[in-house]
A and B are shown apart, each in its own frame.
Chain A
């Protein structure tokens, strides 16, 4: 059996199985994230939330999926048909392929590549294309306005995310995601780099177009933003993409700042629980904060959003980057270059 998995064909089969082993849990997690969001929002607003389909509404996501599949995909008359249908696929596809490099436990990634963090950064910076192409191909004013807002927003917040990532990399000395987690054996980066952690989390909200930064889909001003013309499965793909991206950003926050699969403090009762469970628990924690923020904060005004990105986060992350580099040099903590 081991011999079979060493052949070309065996490696192919193994890779497909590995991919399924991560995509299937992510998709199921995504389905239950939609339910969890409605439940948490309901709890915040003193309601019950979905509770009719299945016990505690557990089958609600599948009922929604079936409903979406049964509906008709409408392509507007003036739309650019090819791009219109390509945009949701692109959004969803990008959200899924990013998971190829996420390590769930020590060395448990489909591809343990040297530039893992850059790969994730590249994929997340491509996410804007799904939005902008959807907005343009719809040939609708509202959709286009949503797309323009989104493009400006995502490009702005990427800059500060980049600086946050660089300051983490300075402390690690490697671009490999596995190494980034292992560098946090003694202390999670959320503690020494607390301001960067906060900046990263808020930028992650903006990057995934979540409230309070959900300007692209501000339903009170521009109906539903860039996907106003979409229906049925195409609409569902945008939805899936958004929630998968949320999980991805939570996973990235966990890897960069919360010690990935590592148990807190590294002491006995915690280390009995296997790494992947810790990883999932930390992702769930981040996602809860995502939803909590949505339930609590009003939407930002657009000029305030841009001000926060360029005039607050950019100088702050740049200054903290220089402070980090200076401190590492001063105390001789600089990691040895790989």
Chain B
């Protein structure tokens, strides 16, 4: 009884929020409704006993993917009047695409045949004495290992592609090289000198290693020497 009520609550909220994703005026609200949809889908998974999928759905989609969506959408500067201005102009194109998709969906659903053993499988989804998570792991890492690895490779390619597209190493930007900073020693940067009372820097011969002055004016040169005394 409670399971049935929970199912209908999750399902109804999920359908309503899914509709709101496409109909909400404000894109940020759309993303928030999308998150609500994910949550209710997770709830439906939970009702079927797939607790691992529930948690993964929440962690991956709600915890990571939707955060990035929200991140991007929040930074958009959207002019709502402009957004709605082309409605009538684009209506025929949109309708045409929608019709094509609808026909395709109808063809797919019309040609759908349920496998004879599917009904039996549905009633015994998990073997006895084994948790849902362990069974998933056993299937993925044995029978479906190639598909699993192939999916991983596709994601890897996508990741490398994203990095290649966005990486631009401007030579002008100043990078902090932490290794160089931590490798510095006191000996390399500091020099402790016993200075006799009243002696100038020039008399002691303390010089910072300066680059060779290239045809500098005498006055400028003297200035550089004054700077060099900044030990």
CB pair B131 A338 closer than 8 Å: yes
Indicate whether A175 reaches chain B with its CB closer than 8 angstroms. yes
Q: Give Cα distance in the complex from A121 to B62, angstroms.
A: 12
A-B contact pairs, 24 of them (CB 8 A): A113-B51, A115-B51, A118-B52, A118-B55, A119-B55, A121-B59, A122-B55, A122-B63, A125-B59, A126-B58, A126-B62, A128-B67, A129-B35, A129-B67, A132-B70, A132-B71, A155-B64, A155-B67, A158-B63, A175-B52, A303-B176, A304-B176, A307-B178, A337-B137
Q: Give Cα distance in the complex from A134 to B70, angstroms.
A: 13
Shortest 7 CB-CB contacts between residues of A and residues of B: A125-B63, A118-B55, A122-B58, A122-B59, A115-B51, A136-B74, A115-B55
Which of A126, A155, A158 gathers most chain B CB within 10 Å? A126
Q: How many residues of A contact B (CB 8 A)?
A: 28
Please name all residues of chain B whose beta carbon is closer than 8 Å to the beta carbon of A304 when the two chains form the complex: 176
Q: Give Cα distance in the complex from A132 to B69, angstroms.
A: 12
Please name all residues of chain A whose beta carbon is closer than 8 Å to the beta carbon of B59 when the two chains form the complex: 118, 121-122, 125
User: Shortest beta-carbon distance, B16 to chain A, in Å?
Assistant: 17
Indicate whether A15 reaches chain B with its CB closer than 8 angstroms. no
Indicate whether A148 reaches chain B with its CB closer than 8 angstroms. yes
Residues on B lying within 8 angstroms of A by beta carbon are: 28, 32, 35, 51-52, 54-56, 58-59, 62-64, 67-68, 70-71, 74-75, 130-134, 137-138, 176, 178
Please name all residues of chain A whose beta carbon is closer than 8 Å to the beta carbon of B56 when the two chains form the complex: 118
Q: Say whether chain A's binding surface is mostly helix, strand, loop, or mixed.
A: helix
User: Shortest beta-carbon distance, A101 to chain B, in Å?
Assistant: 11
Q: Give Cα distance in the complex from A147 to B85, angstroms.
A: 32
CB pair A115 B67 closer than 8 Å: no
CB pair B28 A337 closer than 8 Å: no
Indicate whether A114 reaches chain B with its CB closer than 8 angstroms. yes
Q: Give Cα distance in the complex from A222 to B173, angstroms.
A: 25
CB pair A125 B55 closer than 8 Å: no
Report the nearest A residue to B35, measured CB to CB.
Answer: A129
* Given contact pairs A114-B132, A126-B58, A126-B62, a sample of 10 additional A-B residue pairs in the complex whose CB atoms are under 8 Å apart: A115-B52, A118-B59, A122-B55, A122-B58, A122-B62, A125-B63, A151-B71, A158-B63, A175-B133, A303-B176
Please name all residues of chain A whose beta carbon is closer than 8 Å to the beta carbon of B58 when the two chains form the complex: 122, 125-126
Q: Give Cα distance in the complex from A60 to B35, angstroms.
A: 39
Indicate whether A238 reaches chain B with its CB closer than 8 angstroms. no
Please name all residues of chain B whose beta carbon is closer than 8 Å to the beta carbon of A257 when the two chains form the complex: none
Q: Give Cα distance in the complex from A307 to B178, angstroms.
A: 10
Please name all residues of chain B whose beta carbon is closer than 8 Å to the beta carbon of A121 when the two chains form the complex: 55, 59
Please name all residues of chain A whose beta carbon is closer than 8 Å to the beta carbon of B55 when the two chains form the complex: 115, 118-119, 121-122
CB pair A114 B51 closer than 8 Å: yes
Please name all residues of chain B whose beta carbon is closer than 8 Å to the beta carbon of A136 when the two chains form the complex: 28, 74
Please name all residues of chain B whose beta carbon is closer than 8 Å to the beta carbon of A227 when the two chains form the complex: none
Please name all residues of chain B whose beta carbon is closer than 8 Å to the beta carbon of A155 when the two chains form the complex: 64, 67-68
Please name all residues of chain A whose beta carbon is closer than 8 Å to the beta carbon of B52 when the two chains form the complex: 115, 118, 175
Please name all residues of chain B whose beta carbon is closer than 8 Å to the beta carbon of A83 when the two chains form the complex: 32
CB pair B134 A338 closer than 8 Å: yes
Q: Give Cα distance in the complex from A115 to B45, angstroms.
A: 14
User: Shortest beta-carbon distance, B77 to chain A, in Å?
Assistant: 12
User: Shortest beta-carbon distance, A283 to chain B, in Å?
Assistant: 24
Indicate whether A188 reaches chain B with its CB closer than 8 angstroms. no
Q: Give Cα distance in the complex from A129 to B35, angstroms.
A: 10
Q: Give Cα distance in the complex from A132 to B75, angstroms.
A: 12
Q: Give Cα distance in the complex from A104 to B98, angstroms.
A: 55
Please name all residues of chain B whose beta carbon is closer than 8 Å to the beta carbon of A122 when the two chains form the complex: 55, 58-59, 62-63
Q: Give Cα distance in the complex from A203 to B138, angstroms.
A: 31
Please name all residues of chain B whose beta carbon is closer than 8 Å to the beta carbon of A133 when the two chains form the complex: 32
User: Shortest beta-carbon distance, A168 to chain B, in Å?
Assistant: 15
Please name all residues of chain B whose beta carbon is closer than 8 Å to the beta carbon of A125 when the two chains form the complex: 58-59, 62-64
Residues of chain A in range 14-72 having any CB-CB distance to chain B below 8 Å: none
Indicate whether A213 reaches chain B with its CB closer than 8 angstroms. no
Q: Give Cα distance in the complex from A115 to B71, angstroms.
A: 29
Report the nearest A residue to B129, measured CB to CB.
Answer: A338
Please name all residues of chain B whose beta carbon is closer than 8 Å to the beta carbon of A115 when the two chains form the complex: 51-52, 54-55, 133
Q: Give Cα distance in the complex from A312 to B13, angstroms.
A: 42
Indicate whether A189 reaches chain B with its CB closer than 8 angstroms. no
